[in-house]
Amino acid sequence: MKLNIQDKFNKELPADPNRSNTRRQVFKSCFSFVDPAKPTAPQLIHISKEMLEMLGIREEEAQSEEFLNVFSGKEVLENTSPYSMCYGGHQFGNWAGQLGDGRAINLAEVEHNGKNWALQLKGAGETPYSRNADGLAVLRSSIREHLCSEAMFHLGVPTTRSLSLVLSGDKVLRDIMYDGNPAYEKGAIVCRVAPSFIRFGSYQIFVSRGDLETLKKLTDFTIQHFFPNIRPGAKEAYTEFFKEVAERTLEMIIHWQRVGFVHGVMNTDNMSILGLTIDYGPYGWLEGYDPNWTPNTTDRQTRRYRFGQQPAVSLWNLLQLANTLYPLVEKPEPFQKILDWYQSHYQEAYVKMMSQKLGLEKITESNAKLISDLVEVLQLSETDMTIFFRHLADFSKDTELSKSNDFLDFIKEAFYQPEEVKDKILEQWKNWFIHYQECLKKETLTDTQRKELMNKVNPKYVLRNYMAQLAIDAADQGDYSVLNELHELLKRPYHEQPDQEKWFTKRPEWARHKVGCSMLSCSS
């Protein structure tokens, strides 16, 4: 296996001079060198072919012992120096001090076809940032990360990727319910891939310690390598940098709201500076449309990171980043302007995105009302977001709404309690459809043209929480068929896949309250 290694992060930025693997506070350094732990009996269980191609690795090479050894942490690639990154972060709104890669180890950076990729093992053992944890990951959370990052990519959502999923052969102790009953689970290692894993918290840590020198080095490095539109060293470079981070973040959040993705832990250490979805922990997908839903049990009380709150939280996180970059600029106005822009532009971008989901080309006042009304109606009775929007494409603008009582039949599969949808609720649906039809009639698209456009933004297949759990339950028994099937399915989320209709259904009732299917805990 010949990788074109072009390390920059660990060559150009200040390294922790301490090379031991003891847990500690690390100062004035962006990372610490650390070797992955050697797994007992690594076994490759899944590879993303698309990622192999992106990295220039042939399929035969991926079957080699070398591949397994490198991507399980057993062997370190020649001429590389693996490292864990130092960062801090606000967790659930509070400054948490140094966090860092407690279980992530960057192997190397690879250049292929003009693109640069950092390869990072997650769950490959202790690092100086492991604090009171073990540096490991379990099979269930690794499957969730591997499947979801690739699914998000194919949905068109900016995200980190996942190359491989390996069993370590080691057992990992976890208290899954936090109730004092820990049990051993299979350990696993995912190789995540992204242009960079730098987070908002990577900058915050330096400012929290008054270390503006390292802050500047890291910011200059980021601009130079990842923001080609900004001229490094220019007077405005830092505010331009902040503006672009805000733009990228906004785009990511709009995509999350479009597909019904709830991240679950939007702490500032989980916000990528490149606007990528990063750190797939207790994430989830909206099934019944509910802006108050969060999959994260740790956040059950305040629901800080609930679906409907994601835009506001991203703004709060950007405000923290603005405070962090402020010492490089020493003027608050440019930051304030960008934060104000974020708020107003988010509204515009949201209405545009929702209009597309509804198949409307024109953006009018009336659309904004139609959208806010829809958000209300969707919550009158539990309504599956994915199924609703997919079936909505079958609506005809010539339907005779006033006469018909079965006008909702074409979306009835989206209702979890169809018997509830009568009387007042039915009336409200009818009013909404009358308004929708009026909006559609003002447009020039035919029903067929509109359907085609809508099916490009309303996915048919998403990684529902219970689907990931089925893959996990089977994999735990050594059966990887569901994992393979879902990985294939989710490569074409917008396509009709007639032999896969079984995955286009509402969440089954058994999954409503099952652990892993509806609620998940933080790091595991």
Residue ranges of alpha helices (H) inside 186-236 are 200-208, 212-226
Q: Which residues partner with 285 through β-bridges? A: 261
Please choose which of ligand AMP, Mg ion, none residue 7 contacts, taking the beta carbon within 5 to 8 angstroms, the exact cut-off set by kind: none
Please choose which of Mg ion, ligand AMP, none residue 134 contacts, taking the beta carbon within 5 to 8 angstroms, the exact cut-off set by kind: ligand AMP
Q: How far is the CB of 147 from ligand AMP (least distance, A)?
A: 17
Q: How far is the CB of 279 from Mg ion (least distance, A)?
A: 4
Choice between 16 and 279, CB closer to Mg ion: 279
Q: How far is the CB of 13 from Mg ion (least distance, A)?
A: 20
**Amino acid identity, residue 492?**
R
The residue from 269, 279, 299, 384 that is catalytic is 269
The residues of the shown chain that bind Mg ion, judged by CB under 5 A, are: 270, 279
Question: Looking at beta carbons, which residue is closest to ligand AMP?
Answer: 102
Please choose which of ligand AMP, Mg ion, none residue 523 contacts, taking the beta carbon within 5 to 8 angstroms, the exact cut-off set by kind: ligand AMP
**Amino acid identity, residue 255?**
H
Report the alpha-carbon distance of residue 277 to residue 280 in Å, rounded. 8
SS3 assignment, position 44: strand
Q: What angle do CA 248, 251, 255 make, to 5 degrees?
A: 140
Report the chain's C-alpha Rg in angstroms.
Answer: 24
Question: Looking at beta carbons, which residue is closest to Mg ion?
Answer: 279
What is the dihedral sign for C-alpha 284, 43, 160, 106? positive
Please choose which of Mg ion, ligand AMP, none residue 102 contacts, taking the beta carbon within 5 to 8 angstroms, the exact cut-off set by kind: ligand AMP
Q: How many CA atoms lie within 13 A of 162 on its CB side?
A: 27
The residues of the shown chain that bind ligand AMP, judged by CB under 6 A, are: 99-103, 129-130, 133-136, 265, 269-270, 279, 281, 522-523
Choice between 34 and 265, CB closer to ligand AMP: 265
Other CB atoms within 10 A of residue 144 CB: 26
SS3 assignment, position 87: coil
CB 123 within 8 A of CB 187: yes
Report the alpha-carbon distance of residue 221 to residue 9 in Å, rounded. 8
Choice between 264 and 493, CB closer to Mg ion: 264
Choice between 136 and 392, CB closer to ligand AMP: 136
Q: How far is the CB of 277 from ligand AMP (least distance, A)?
A: 13
Please choose which of Mg ion, ligand AMP, none residue 493 contacts, taking the beta carbon within 5 to 8 angstroms, the exact cut-off set by kind: none
Quick one: which of 228, 233, 293, 208 has its CA closest to 257? 293
Other CB atoms within 10 A of residue 368 CB: 16
Please choose which of Mg ion, ligand AMP, none residue 101 contacts, taking the beta carbon within 5 to 8 angstroms, the exact cut-off set by kind: ligand AMP
- Map 411-477 to HEC letters: HHHHECCHHHCCHHHHHHHHHHHHHHHHHHHCCCCCHHHHHHHHCCCCCCCCCCHHHHHHHHHHHHC
Q: How far is the CB of 204 from ligand AMP (least distance, A)?
A: 13
Choice between 172 and 374, CB closer to ligand AMP: 172
**Known catalytic residue: 269?**
yes
Q: How far is the CB of 130 from Mg ion (least distance, A)?
A: 13
Choice between 104 and 328, CB closer to ligand AMP: 104
Residues identified as active-site: 269
